[in-house]
C-alpha cells in the first residue's frame, strides 16, 4: 500500500485589523501573488475556501508545469506553493468573505464575523466545473454523477463509466479513472476530439476506453443511482441509452465571480476583464488566473498572471504611501 499525507491544511490565523493586500483564492494564481506580495514585505492575507492549490490540487498528475521533468501531483504542487507563500509571511485564512466592499478606500472585508480593511485586493477565484443542466443531473449528483474524478473515482471499481467531454480535462481524468473502472466511454458533442494528442494516446493505451463523438447528452437516468445516459447522434438524430454506473462531467468551467459581479467589469461570459497589468475596472483591485477574461487556462499561465498582479499592486501601494 502506498500512502501520502498532506500537511497542507491551513492553520487558523489570528486576523489583523488591516492588510496591505488581500488575495481571494489560493489556486496557483493567488498563491503566486501571495509569494510575490509577502516577499515584497507587504502584509498579505489569502482568503480561500477549499484547499490550497485550487483546481490544480484536484488534478492527479500535472506534466506540463515547468520544473518537474517527471510531472508532479496537483496536491503536492498546491502544498509546495502554499508553503512558499507562508515562508515569506503570507497568512492563509480558510473561508470566504461574508461581505465585501472593494470599491471603497480602504477596502472592507468581513471574515468570520470580523471586519478587516485592506489597501489592495487581488481576485484569483478561478473557475468551477460547469453543469450541463440535463434532466437527472442534479438529482443524481452524489449518486453516480460527479465532477471530481480524484474524489469519487474509487467508488467505481470494475464499473462502467461515462465521461462527458473529450477536451483535455475529460481525457486526462479518464486516464485516472481507468485505474478503477472496467470501461470508460467518453461522449463528446463535437465530431472531433479536442484533447491533446499525448493524452488521447495514453487513454487508448489503458485498453479500457472508447469515444462516442458527435453525440449530445440528453439526460442521465436512474432511480436512486445512475443507471445510464441517454444520448443522441447529432446528424441522424437517433437516440439511445448507454448503461453505466457513473457519469463524470468535464464540459467546461464557469468563473467564480459571484461576490464581485456587481463591482468589477465582466465580459459577456462572466469573466473579469483585466488589462495587461491585470488591473480590473476598480482602482486597487487586480484579478489573475482562470477567473479573468481571455486567460489561457493553465497553471503556468495562472502563475504568470498572479506574479504580474502582485508586482503591479506593490507598485501601486508604494506610489500611494
Partner 1 sequence: MGMLKDEDKKYLTEQFEEKMVDPVPILLFSQKLECEYCQPTEQILTELAELSDKLTLDIRNLQIESADAKEFEIDKVPAIILLRDDKDQGIRFFGIPSGYEFSSLLAAILDVSAGTNDIPDDLRAKIAAIDKPVDIKVFVTPTCPYCPGAVRAAHKIAMLNPDHIRGQMIETTEFPHLANKYAVYGVPKTVINENVQFEGTMPDQAVVEHVLAALSSRD
Ligand X SMILES: Cc1cc2nc3c(=O)[nH]c(=O)nc-3n(C[C@H](O)[C@H](O)[C@H](O)COP(=O)(O)OP(=O)(O)OC[C@H]3O[C@@H](n4cnc5c(N)ncnc54)[C@H](O)[C@@H]3O)c2cc1C
Selecting among 152, 158, 244, 275, the annotated active-site residue is: 152
Rounded Cα distance, 242 and 223, in Å: 15
Asked if 270 is part of the footprint of ligand X (rule: CB under 6 A), the reply reads no
Q: Report whether the peptide linkage leading into residue 145 is cis, meaning its omega lies within 30 degrees of zero.
A: no
192-251: contacts with partner 1 (CB under 8 A): 224-226, 246
H or E element, residue 103: none
Task: Clarify whether 244 is annotated catalytic.
Answer: no
Q: Are 164 and 217 in contact (CB under 8 A)?
A: yes
91-150: contacts with partner 1 (CB under 8 A): 94-96, 112-113, 141-146, 148, 150
Q: Binding marks (x or -) toward ligand X, 58..97, rule CB under 6 A? A: -x--x-xx------------------------------xx
Rounded Cα distance, 74 and 151, in Å: 13
Q: Binding marks (x or -) toward ligand X, 159..198, rule CB under 6 A? A: ----------x--xx-------------------------
Among 71, 135, 151, 205, which residue sits at the site for partner 1 (rule: CB under 8 A)?
151
Burial class (CB in 10 A: 0-12, 13-18, 19+), 142: exposed
Three cell numbers, residue 23: 488575495
Q: Are 266 and 257 in contact (CB under 8 A)?
A: yes
Q: Total binding residues for partner 1 by CB under 8 A?
A: 42
Q: Binding marks (x or -) toward partner 1, 245..284, rule CB under 8 A? A: -x--------------------------------------
* Binding partner of residue 6 among partner 1, ligand X, none, CB cut-off 5 to 8 Å per kind: partner 1
Comparing CB distances to partner 1, the nearer of 15 and 293 is 15
Structure letter (DSSP) for residue 164: E
Three-point CA angle 49, 13, 51, nearest 5°: 25
175-194: contacts with partner 1 (CB under 8 A): none
Asked if 24 is part of the footprint of ligand X (rule: CB under 6 A), the reply reads yes
Among 63, 152, 204, 216, which residue sits at the site for partner 1 (rule: CB under 8 A)?
152
Q: Output the CA–CA distances (angstroms, integers) from residue 34 to 43, 101, 131, 138, in the order listed.
A: 10, 21, 31, 36
Asked if 67 is part of the footprint of partner 1 (rule: CB under 8 A), the reply reads no
Contact stretch for ligand X (CB under 6 A) within 46-54, 177-185, 235-243, 276-284: 46-54
Question: Least distance in Å: CB of 97 to ligand X?
Answer: 6
Can you say whether the dihedral through the CA atoms of 154, 66, 290, 113 is positive or negative? positive
Rounded Cα distance, 68 and 236, in Å: 46
Q: Are 158 and 59 in contact (CB under 8 A)?
A: no
Selecting among 14, 17, 148, 224, the annotated active-site residue is: 148
Asked if 168 is part of the footprint of partner 1 (rule: CB under 8 A), the reply reads no
Give the number of residues written for the chain: 321
Give the residue numbers annotated as catalytic, written as ranges.
148, 151-152
Amino acid at each position: 500500500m502506498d500512502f501520502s499525507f498532506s500537511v497542507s491544511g491551513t492553520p487558523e490565523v489570528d486576523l489583523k485589523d488591516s492588510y496591505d493586500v488581500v488575495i481571494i483564492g489560493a489556486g496557483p494564481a493567488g498563491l503566486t501573488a501571495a509569494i510575490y506580495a509577502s516577499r515584497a514585505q507587504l502584509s498579505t492575507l489569502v482568503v480561500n475556501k477549499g484547499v490550497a492549490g485550487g483546481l490544480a490540487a484536484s488534478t492527479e498528475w500535472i506534466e506540463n508545469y515547468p520544473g518537474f521533468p517527471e510531472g508532479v501531483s496537483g496536491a503536492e504542487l498546491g502544498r509546495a506553493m502554499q508553503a512558499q507563500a507562508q515562508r515569506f509571511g503570507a497568512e492563509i485564512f480558510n473561508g470566504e468573505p461574508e461581505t465585501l466592499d472593494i470599491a471603497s478606500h480602504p477596502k472592507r472585508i468581513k471574515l468570520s464575523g470580523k471586519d478587516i480593511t485592506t489597501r489592495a485586493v487581488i481576485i484569483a477565484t478561478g473557475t468551477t466545473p460547469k453543469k450541463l443542466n440535463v434532466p437527472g443531473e442534479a438529482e443524481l449528483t452524489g449518486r453516480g454523477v460527479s465532477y471530481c474524478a480524484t474524489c469519487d473515482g474509487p467508488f467505481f471499481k470494475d464499473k462502467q463509466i461515462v465521461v462527458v467531454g473529450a477536451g483535455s480535462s475529460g481525457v486526462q481524468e479518464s486516464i485516472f479513472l481507468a485505474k478503477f473502472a472496467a470501461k470508460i466511454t467518453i461522449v463528446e458533442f463535437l465530431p472531433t476530439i479536442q484533447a491533446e494528442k499525448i493524452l488521447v494516446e495514453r487513454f487508448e493505451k489503458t485498453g479500457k476506453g472508447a469515444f462516442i463523438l458527435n453525440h449530445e447528452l440528453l439526460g442521465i437516468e436512474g432511480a436512486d443511482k445512475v443507471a445510464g445516459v441517454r444520448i443522441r447522434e447529432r446528424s441522424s438524430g437517433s437516440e439511445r441509452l448507454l448503461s453505466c454506473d457513473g457519469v463524470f462531467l468535464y464540459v467546461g468551467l464557469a468563473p467564480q465571480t459571484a461576490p464581485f459581479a456587481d463591482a468589477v467589469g465582466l465580459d459577456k461570459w462572466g469573466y473579469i476583464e483585466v488589462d495587461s497589468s491585470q488591473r480590473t475596472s476598480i482602482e486597487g483591485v487586480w484579478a489573475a488566473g482562470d477567473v479573468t477574461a481571455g486567460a489561457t487556462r493553465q497553471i503556468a499561465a495562472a502563475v504568470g498572471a498572479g506574479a504580474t498582479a502582485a508586482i503591479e499592486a506593490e507598485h501601486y501601494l508604494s506610489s500611494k504611501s
